[in-house]
Amino acid sequence: MIDAANITAVLLAAGQSRRFGADDKLLAPLADEPLALHAARRIAELAPGRRIAVCSNGDGTLAAMLSGLGFDIAVNADATSGLSQSLALGIAAAARGPELAALVCLADMPFVGTRHLQSLLARFDPVSAPVVASSDGETAMPPALFDRALFDRLRASEGDRGGKALLSDAALVMASAGELADIDRPDDLRRN
């Protein structure tokens, strides 16, 4: 178990959203507020030691909203380089602080609740469970918690796979049905 004060939460919010169309999906409305703010608010409720959001533009609307919720902004100006670039930037920012682990969340997963995030922290152990991932019963996925000893490996990942290689040995925490759904297309907003 790790206390929330001893982690950095990293919110990845710099994707290209190609399947969503021309609009910025992270600013698309879901239940009367921008999609990305749902994940950001659950992180804020968790009260981690630090909050970092990786955005494609440090001066944009999304960065301003997230900054208003207490997130430090790391900029990934080259979103075409894939998820791993955003992950590397977020983990590099996390490594500059004293926190013992990083909780990596995706801004397009608006249904993950604070209770699930707390369950990830409760399952964490730096020796027996240095990686704790969410699961839908079939797959290990974000949100995921990584011990500080793994930061260098996370920063070295490439492409769109992010920290997936490390998730293969993760301790798993089951999420409730639909909680790990992500938003990829405009129709996904209408279904939820």
pLDDT at 187: 63
Average pLDDT over residues 21-47: 87
Exposed / middle / buried, residue 172 (Cβ in 10 Å: 0-12, 13-18, 19+): buried
Question: At 107, which amino acid appears?
Answer: A
Predicted model pTM = 0.91
Q: Which tens digit of pLDDT belongs to each residue from 104-120?
A: 999 999 999 999 999 99
Class of domain 4-191: alpha beta
Instruction: Decide: 143 and 80 in contact? Cβ < 8 Å.
Output: no
In the predicted structure, residue 17 carries a pLDDT above the cut 80 = no
Question: At 153, which amino acid appears?
Answer: R
Instruction: Decide: 145 and 112 in contact? Cβ < 8 Å.
Output: no
What does the block give as tokens for 157? 């990942």
The β-bridge relationship of strands 7-13 and 101-106 is parallel
Question: At 3, which amino acid appears?
Answer: D
Domains of the chain by residue range: 4-191
Rounding to the nearest 10 degrees, give the CA dihedral for residues 146, 149, 122, 118.
Answer: -40
Instruction: Decide: 118 and 124 in contact? Cβ < 8 Å.
Output: no
Q: Residue for token digits 């409730």?
A: 176
In the predicted structure, residue 122 carries a pLDDT above the cut 70 = yes
pLDDT at 156: 82
**Cα(84)–Cα(159) distance, rounded to whole angstroms?**
5
